[in-house]
Structure formats: C-alpha cells, structure tokens
Amino acid sequence: MRGSGTRVLLFVLECALGILIVVLVAAFAHWSQWLLPVAALLYLLIVVPTALLCGFWQAVIVSLSTVLVQGYFTTRQAQINPAAVSTDSVTLLVFVLVALLVSRLSSRVTEHAKEAESKGRQMEDLYEFTRRTLRMNLHVEPGPQLAELVHEIFSLEAVVVFDSDLHETYQAGIWDVDPQELAQNVYYFETSDDDPASGLGRRVLRLGTVPIGSLVVRGDTSPLTNNAIASLIAITFDRYRAFANESHLEAERRTEQLRTTVLDSLAHAYKTPLTAIRAASTGLGEMGRLSPGQADLVALIDEQADLLSDLTTRLLTTARLDAGEVTIHAEPVGVASLIEEVVASLRDRLASMKVSIDIKKENMVLCCDRQLIVMLLTQYIDNACKYSIFGTAITIRAVQSRKELIFSVHSFSPVIPLADRERIFDRYYRSSTYSNRAAGTGIGLSVAKRAALVHGGNVWVTSDEHDGTTFYASIPTPVLNRCS
C-alpha cells in the first residue's frame, strides 16, 4: 500500500510540473504575440521529454493541458481577430495528435529499452550464477550454497530450495510463512507458476521428467529467469550425486584393491608352511610303527592341510582374477566328462547324498578354461552338499542354447532371502539363512562368479520353498574366437 501511494503521488507531481510549464510557455507566447505554430513547437518540446522521462499517460495529460490553456488564450485573442480562431483550432488539433503519437512512440522505446536493460542484467546474473555453481564445492551438500547464491546474485527477498532425495529444505532471506511447507507443497503437488501479486515464483526441479525437488523465490524475477534458475539447481543436484557416487566407487575400488593385495600376500605366505606340514605328515605316515591313535592324528593333519591348501588356492585365484592377471587358456572340453570329473573329486562329500546328472546331449563340447570351470562347478556342488536337507537329491544339469551353455546345480535347502540373492556372490558375504548351518569363508561363490565373468558369462540363483534352490552359471559358446 505504501509503495502504491508513493507512485500515485509521483504521478501527480510529474503531471503538475508539466502543466505548470505549459501555462508559463502559453502565457509567454500570448504576451509575445507568437503565432500558434511557434507555440506548438514549444509545447512539443514539453510533451516529448515528459513522455521520455515520465511516461505516456503523463504526456497525455500534459498534451490535454496545452489544448485547454491554448484554447483559453485563443478565446481572448478572438476578441481582437475572429478570423484566426478556426485556423488556430485546426493547427492545435493537429499538434495534439502529433504530440500524442510522438509521446506514445517515445514511451514504447523507453519501455523496450528498460526491458532490454532488465533482461541484460538478468542474463549477467544467470551467467554469474552458472559460473559460481560450476565452481561449487561438491564435497558437501549443495542445497545451502545454492539458496544463498540465488538470494545474493538475483537480489531476491527470500529463497527456499527443497531436495527430495535428502528430504532437506534450505532457505535464505526472511519468510512470512513456513518455507518448508511451502516448498514441499510445490514438490508434492507439482505446482509451477508465478504470482505477480505476491511476487512468488514456484518451480518443480526436474531431471528430464523426474521431479527431484522444488524452488520458491520471492522478488523481482521473470518467469524465464525462474525457469533457468530451477534448471541450474537441478543440474547441480545431479552433479553432486554423480560426484558422490564416483567418490564412493573409487573408495570401494581402493579398498578392494588393498584387500586383494593382502589376500595375495597371505596366500603366498601360507604356501611354504603348508608344504612343510604336508611333507612332515607324509614322512610320519611312511615311517610306520605308528599306533592307531598316532595314525589318526597324522590323518587329521593331512585332512586339515588339504583344506588349508584348497582355501589358499581359492585366495590366490580370487586375487589374480580381481587383478586381471588370469589368462584364459581356452580348449575344447567335453561337458559330460567335466561334470563327472568334478563329481568324482567330491565323492567323499557326496557319499551320503543322492546325485543326479542331467545332460541333454552327451556330446556337448564347451570352449573354456577347464581349470576355472572345474572350480566353478566344484563350488556349486560343494555348496549344495553343505546346505541341502538330508535325504534330498542334488541335480546337476547342463543345457545348450544357441549362444551359451548353462550349468545348474539344484538342491532342497533353506530359502535364500530375495535381498541376499545378489550379494551372496560378493566376497565374504554369507546369507543369514546359511551362516549358522555350516562353516564357510564366503569366498567360494565369489570365485565362481569371477570364473564365469572372465569367460564373458554370468551367475545367478533362484530359491523357493517348494522348488528348492538352484545356482546357475552361463558360459558363452564359444568364449573366444578360437580355442587353443
């Protein structure tokens, strides 16, 4: 209200000043007995600057005042020279029309110049905002920085930014209402508009078509500027998330690299004492004259040394697969003989189990690294031995499709939760369903996964209470362009 009253007072003062100047000029022209064309030029010099400096409507009022003032002096002159009245009236009418036309054109030019200047300032502000967002520190959340930048650069009364991903609201300036509720309503109801009466501009922040937050500003900005600000904020949020993900992935990569290096060092360090233990136990067995108790102890040493040797081999293979140091020695391998070899190597473990081998084609041949595929199948079958319900069967299948060969090992065991089915192939991860049923290191399935991946294949698992649990491994055929 105060601003509106000030504008009205200014308008009245500008009109009054213009009218006063017109009266003074008209009085001087009448006293000097100038003809109307001369006075009209003076009036024109008053009306045009009024339009340029004050506005069109001020110029209209000043123009009408010239008609009234000049009409007054013309009436007085008519008493002296009646013939001049009609001529002066036509001349004055033409002058008023010309004055109004010129004032209108000048007013439009002034408005366009002001609009151009305002747009130029807004473009400069947008450039500055873009420059400073690109230099923003993305190690911390950008929301508070963005709210302060918009408030500062665009000279707004108040700003609030809502980040839906973090569910955080950031504000700058003074708000008469709750800015958090205001910003969240814009986001949830997807309201994007501009209210000239309140000076509020509301925008939903989007990446493509996906809403990721909202922006509300109060101040003198155009709709196009508000759109540009919202787009820049959305891009900055996206850059922050991409940077955070990249930093997280880099940290994980470095951790995994360190872990792989430690595993490789430990595995190599274990090899020497393991060799000595196995040599000593073998020597004790060959010496003879051992009591039954001593013989049992030597057998236990051999058994545990074999387990340690197997674990060490897995660690070394895992480390080499992670480091990319394993070269695939591809060769044609008979699938049936490969599965039989693995089953034979686990005959002691499978002695109390029912094993079924289902191979659709007996003559199937796979071009692969035999040792790595043996490790993969050994882990799958050994896993089924550990966790299958007593008295149920283990089924080993091999199915040939057009582009790949799929191995599967099925058993009836506790259901693997859906959340664990991806992570179960990660190193050291053990499903909560299995962790208390049998001893394990969480390494075997990760080795199986890497063995499939280096062949260009994949691994996955399905688990259901009625159908049981099945581990799959797909190996492309052929893996390489040629088999060595």
**pLDDT exceeding 90 applies to what percent of the chain?**
16
Same domain membership, residue 92 and residue 10:
yes
Backbone angles phi, psi at 7, to 5 degrees: -65, -40
Same domain membership, residue 277 and residue 156:
no
Could you report the per-residue pLDDT of 127-185, keeping only the tens digit for each? 888 888 888 887 788 889 999 999 999 888 999 999 988 889 999 999 888 989 999 99
Same domain membership, residue 410 and residue 372:
yes
Give the bridge partners for 470, in sequence order. Answer: 410, 462
Last residue of one domain, picked from the residues 222, 246, 270:
246
Same domain membership, residue 432 and residue 359:
yes
Same domain membership, residue 386 and residue 263:
no
Q: Is residue 130 part of a domain?
A: no
Same domain membership, residue 268 and residue 206:
no
pLDDT of residue 97: 67
Last residue of one domain, picked from the residues 186, 216, 246:
246
Q: Is residue 484 part of a domain?
A: no
Asked if residue 153 lies in contact with residue 128, where contact means CB atoms within 8 angstroms, the answer is yes
Same domain membership, residue 376 and residue 350:
yes
pLDDT of residue 10: 83
Same domain membership, residue 225 and residue 111:
no
Full domain range(s) for residue 366: 330-476
Residue count of the chain: 484
Please count the structural domains in the chain: 4
Last residue of one domain, picked from the residues 215, 246, 277:
246
Could you report the per-residue pLDDT of 257-274, keeping only the tens digit for each? 656 566 556 655 666 777
Same domain membership, residue 348 and residue 303:
no
Give the bridge partners for 324, in sequence order. Answer: none
Could you report the per-residue pLDDT of 72-93, keeping only the tens digit for each? 776 766 555 554 444 455 555 6
Q: Is residue 481 part of a domain?
A: no
Q: Is residue 268 part of a domain?
A: yes
Same domain membership, residue 216 and residue 280:
no
Question: How far apart (Å, rounded) are the C-alpha atoms in residues 208 and 162?
Answer: 17
Q: Inform me whether the pLDDT recorded for 28 exceeds 70.
A: yes
Asked if residue 4 lies in contact with residue 48, where contact means CB atoms within 8 angstroms, the answer is no
Q: Is residue 74 part of a domain?
A: yes
Asked if residue 375 lies in contact with residue 447, where contact means CB atoms within 8 angstroms, the answer is yes
Q: What's the CATH number where 197 sits?
A: 3.30.450.40
Q: What's the CATH number where 413 sits?
A: 3.30.565.10
Same domain membership, residue 346 and residue 472:
yes
Same domain membership, residue 317 and residue 363:
no
Q: Is residue 132 part of a domain?
A: no
